Chains A and B, each alone.
Chain A
Amino acid sequence: MAYSEKVVDHFNNPRNMGSFKKEEDGVGTGIVGAPECGDVMKLQIKVENDTIVDAKFKTFGCGSAIASSSLATEWLKGKTVQEAGKIKNTDIVQELNLPPVKIHCSVLAEDAIKAALADYQKKADSK
């Protein structure tokens, strides 16, 4: 299978690869997927005054999974928490030109965004 240029670019130059400390204030962490399925994404957001000021990812998975999560962090930065919740997997499919067999990678990225937002919200609510 040939990869789209954008997938190759994200794979070779991943944006925002890394981790925040989970306990840190304003950090929301989402971990989705399973090793036996061949992909696990960890996506983290750092929120200040309702705005995502930074985002990071680490992904175990194919090139398309890595690219989907890398792209997600790019899109998350600067968005409000509400705006971030509106990112759809179909937007990722379109941007990266993912073939049908790789659509699950984009679904996983959307799930990771939602999980990170939920974790942030849970931490904020418990204060």
Chain B
Amino acid sequence: MKFPIYLDNHSTTPMDPRVLESMLPYFTEKFGNAASRNHAFGWDAEEGVETARKQIAKLIHADAKEIVFTSGATESNNLALKGVVEMYHEKGDHIITSSTEHRAVLDTAKTLEAKRGVKVTYLPVDKFGMVNPEDVRNAITDKTILISVMFANNEIGTINPVKAIGKIAKEKGILFHCDATQGVGKVPIDVQDMGIDLMSFSAHKIYGPKGVGALYVRKKNPRVRIAAQMDGGGHERGMRSGTRPVPLIVGFGKACELCEQEMAADAARLSVMRDRLHATITKALEDVYLNGHPTERLPHNLNISFAYVEGESLLMGCKEIALSSGSACTSATLEPSYVLRALGVGAELAHSSIRFGLGRFTLDEEVDYAGKRIIETVTKLREMSPLYEMAKEGIDLKSVQWAAH
């Protein structure tokens, strides 16, 4: 086994060597500008870009013309929300989104509230982190121009009822944007069947390169228009100017092609591994709680709270394994995960959460090792925890008068 072990695949993924191989010629031999129309260098580059566009579109059941390249999902989310608000401001000024969205959506919505006077409804989620489509329906007003709900959550892996939300959006004639950064390439997504009008995703979450992403923009039924947020040469059908990063786009295309071919097998293998890890941990330790939905979740995601143990200390105790925690101590804000808080998870359990993100290159032995080390470390830290000691003495921790600081 090689150390450190990488189990943080929601954060980013290693690039698949096959993706790297597809990219290499576009750095040196086929280095042209895809917008150069009158020489072979440009044609070669354009061919690479257009092949990638087809590969990407195929994975999500879209048309190649509906793919707009961006620098990543953050830019795609910004472009979708800001672009729709600017284009459709005469129709209305209300957006519906959810409280567990990624910051790229939440902070964009907040900016639109502050700078453009847009009204935003932040829908609550249930205890599993799921948006209720009926809540979406009830939040719609005659001023609503956009619904933006994520496909799957980046912390807890809960998959939203996207198709039901898409149906409501269609019924009401409102545009539906979906941040599918965590879902694309991991589970089947069909923008036609799911009624998605705009969709953000990126390459580096699916074993492709960092620095490139896409926004799917529906062309028919309805034809979606967005105002460009970057002025320049009018690339990407005028929606996103800037010279296309050809090698990155080629790699993105290859990554999508591989996902299309291997997604089902990857998901099957990783969900078995993930379930075994979960079972091993719950068998060995008491007071561990699953965060997120028990079944409607990404196949490679596991998020657990270990009561009486603080998340950052747990990561420090297993530092040969790359993991992530919802603990405040791992964030710059000193607040524990807003996603877990939105689920109704108590702050003390939010501080105790660990996210495991498995990936295409995760080995059985790595997951087994991680399970063993987590169990050892939790046991050690509980011995050190005054909360565990009090709980063992039968003291109800909720009844204690804590001096909050």
Q: Report how far A101 CA is from B312 CA in the complex, Å.
A: 13
Q: Report how far A39 CA is from B329 CA in the complex, Å.
A: 10
Say whether A75 faces chain B, with CB atoms less than 8 Å apart.
Answer: no
Tell which of B316, B336, B402 touches A40, judged by Cβ atoms closer than 8 Å: B402
Say whether B231 faces chain A, with CB atoms less than 8 Å apart.
Answer: no
Q: Write out the residue numbers on chain B whose beta carbons fall within 8 Å of the beta carbon of A31.
A: 386
Q: Report how far A85 CA is from B230 CA in the complex, Å.
A: 61
Considering residues A3, A14, A33, A104, which has the most beta carbons from chain B within 10 angstroms of its beta carbon?
A33
How many A-B pairs have beta carbons closer than 8 Å: the answer is 86
Tell which of B308, B404, B405 touches A60, judged by Cβ atoms closer than 8 Å: B308
Q: Contact: A62 with B313, CB < 8 Å?
A: yes
Tell which of A35, A59, A104 touches B397, judged by Cβ atoms closer than 8 Å: A35
Q: Write out the residue numbers on chain B whose beta carbons fall within 8 Å of the beta carbon of A40.
A: 386-387, 402
Q: Report how far A61 CA is from B313 CA in the complex, Å.
A: 7
Count, chain A residues at interface, CB 8 A: 31
Tell which of A8, A34, A42, A63 touches B312, judged by Cβ atoms closer than 8 Å: A63
Instruction: Tell me the minimal C-beta distance from B320 to chain A in angstroms.
Output: 13
Say whether B383 faces chain A, with CB atoms less than 8 Å apart.
Answer: yes
Say whether A116 faces chain B, with CB atoms less than 8 Å apart.
Answer: no
Q: Report how far A106 CA is from B328 CA in the complex, Å.
A: 17
Q: Contact: A11 with B313, CB < 8 Å?
A: yes
Q: Write out the residue numbers on chain A whose beta carbons fall within 8 Å of the beta carbon of B402.
A: 33-36, 40
Say whether A17 faces chain B, with CB atoms less than 8 Å apart.
Answer: yes
Among B135-143, B208-216, B346-354, the stretch in contact with A: B346-354
Say whether B1 faces chain A, with CB atoms less than 8 Å apart.
Answer: no
Closest chain B residue to A64, Cβ basis: B329
Instruction: Tell me the minimal C-beta distance from B398 to chain A in angstroms.
Output: 9
Say whether B114 faces chain A, with CB atoms less than 8 Å apart.
Answer: no
Consensus secondary structure, chain A interface: mixed
Q: Write out the residue numbers on chain A whose beta carbons fall within 8 Å of the beta carbon of B308.
A: 60
Say whether B310 faces chain A, with CB atoms less than 8 Å apart.
Answer: yes
Interface 1/0s, chain B 381-393, versus A by CB < 8 A? 0011111110000
Instruction: Tell me the minimal C-beta distance from B346 to chain A in angstroms.
Output: 7
Q: Write out the residue numbers on chain B whose beta carbons fall within 8 Å of the beta carbon of A14.
A: 384
Q: Which A residues, 77 to 114, have Cβ-Cβ distances below 8 Å to chain B?
A: 101, 104, 107-108, 111
Residues of chain A having any CB pair with chain B under 8 Å: 3, 8, 11, 14, 17, 19, 31-42, 58-63, 65-66, 101, 104, 107-108, 111
Q: Report how far A36 CA is from B400 CA in the complex, Å.
A: 12
Tell which of B329, B384, B403 touches A38, judged by Cβ atoms closer than 8 Å: B329
Pick 8 A–B contacts, CB within 8 A, sort by A: A33-B402, A34-B403, A35-B347, A35-B348, A40-B402, A60-B309, A65-B310, A66-B384
Q: Report how far A82 CA is from B402 CA in the complex, Å.
A: 27
Q: Report how far A101 CA is from B347 CA in the complex, Å.
A: 19
Q: Report how far A34 CA is from B387 CA in the complex, Å.
A: 10
Q: Which B residues, 293 to 326, have Cβ-Cβ distances below 8 Å to chain A?
A: 308-310, 312-313, 316-317
If A35-B348, A38-B329, A38-B336 touch, does A3 touch B316 (CB 8 Å cutoff)? yes
If A38-B328, A38-B336, A38-B351 touch, does A61 touch B310 (CB 8 Å cutoff)? yes
Q: Write out the residue numbers on chain A whose beta carbons fall within 8 Å of the beta carbon of B328.
A: 37-38
Say whether B74 faces chain A, with CB atoms less than 8 Å apart.
Answer: no
If A36-B348, A38-B310 touch, does A62 touch B386 (CB 8 Å cutoff)? no
Instruction: Tell me the minimal C-beta distance from B270 to chain A in angstroms.
Output: 29
Known: A62-B310, A62-B313. 11 other contacts (CB 8 A): A8-B316, A19-B389, A36-B351, A38-B348, A39-B310, A42-B389, A59-B385, A60-B310, A61-B310, A63-B313, A63-B316
Closest chain B residue to A70, Cβ basis: B384
Say whether B71 faces chain A, with CB atoms less than 8 Å apart.
Answer: no
Q: Report how far A16 CA is from B308 CA in the complex, Å.
A: 20
Q: Write out the residue numbers on chain B whose beta carbons fall within 8 Å of the beta carbon of A32.
A: 403, 405
Closest chain B residue to A102, Cβ basis: B329
Q: Report how far A38 CA is from B397 CA in the complex, Å.
A: 14
If A58-B384, A59-B385 touch, does A36 touch B346 (CB 8 Å cutoff)? yes
Say whether B334 faces chain A, with CB atoms less than 8 Å apart.
Answer: yes
Q: Contact: B310 with A36, CB < 8 Å?
A: no
Say whether B327 faces chain A, with CB atoms less than 8 Å apart.
Answer: yes
Q: Report how far A95 CA is from B376 CA in the complex, Å.
A: 29
Q: Report how far A19 CA is from B403 CA in the complex, Å.
A: 21
Tell which of A35, A59, A62, A111 touches B384, judged by Cβ atoms closer than 8 Å: A59
Instruction: Tell me the minimal C-beta distance from B295 to chain A in angstroms.
Output: 30
Q: Write out the residue numbers on chain B whose beta carbons fall within 8 Å of the beta carbon of A33.
A: 402-403, 405
Interface 1/0s, chain B 187-219, versus A by CB < 8 A? 000000000000000000000000000000000
